[in-house]
């Protein structure tokens, strides 16, 4: 059985252009009717969504503390972006 990927794991994958890439798992999306999707951030801050079957584990996360220091995916709606009162257009 293949080990499930965890936040902070270093994984390898193939980019859409065919180039080999690697990065850290920063978010996990689990849905009922499709494989688990992972958001991976590369060293140059590019991000990619990949299915679990497209990833290869390079190095497991050292500890839960190390995984907590990675940047996390935040939805744009997570914090409202309203202009403060008195701001001119």
At residue 77 the predicted structure's pLDDT band, cuts being 50, 70 and 90, is very low
Under a CB-based contact definition with an 8 Å cutoff, are residues 23 and 10 in contact? yes
Question: Among 9, 12, 4, which residue's Cα sits nearest to residue 50?
Answer: 12
Q: What is the pLDDT of residue 1?
A: 39
Residue 39 CA, distance from chain mean position: 3
Any idea where the domains of the chain sit in the sequence?
10-68
Q: What CATH number is given for 10-68 in this structure?
A: 2.30.30
How far apart are alpha carbons 7 and 67 in whole angstroms?
6
Model pTM above 0.85? no
Give residue-wise pLDDT tens across range 10-67.
999 998 888 999 999 999 998 888 889 999 999 888 999 999 999 999 988 776 555 5
């Amino acid at each position: 059985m293949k080990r499930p990927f965890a936040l902070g794991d270093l994984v390898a994958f193939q980019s859409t252009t065919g180039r080999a890439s690697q990065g850290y798992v920063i978010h996990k999306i689990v849905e009922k009717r499709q494989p688990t999707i992972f958001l991976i951030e590369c060293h140059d801050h590019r991000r990619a969504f990949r299915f679990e079957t497209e990833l290869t584990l390079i190095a497991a996360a050292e500890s839960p503390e190390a995984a907590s220091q990675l940047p996390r995916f935040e939805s744009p709606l997570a914090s409202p972006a309203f202009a403060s009162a008195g701001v001119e257009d």
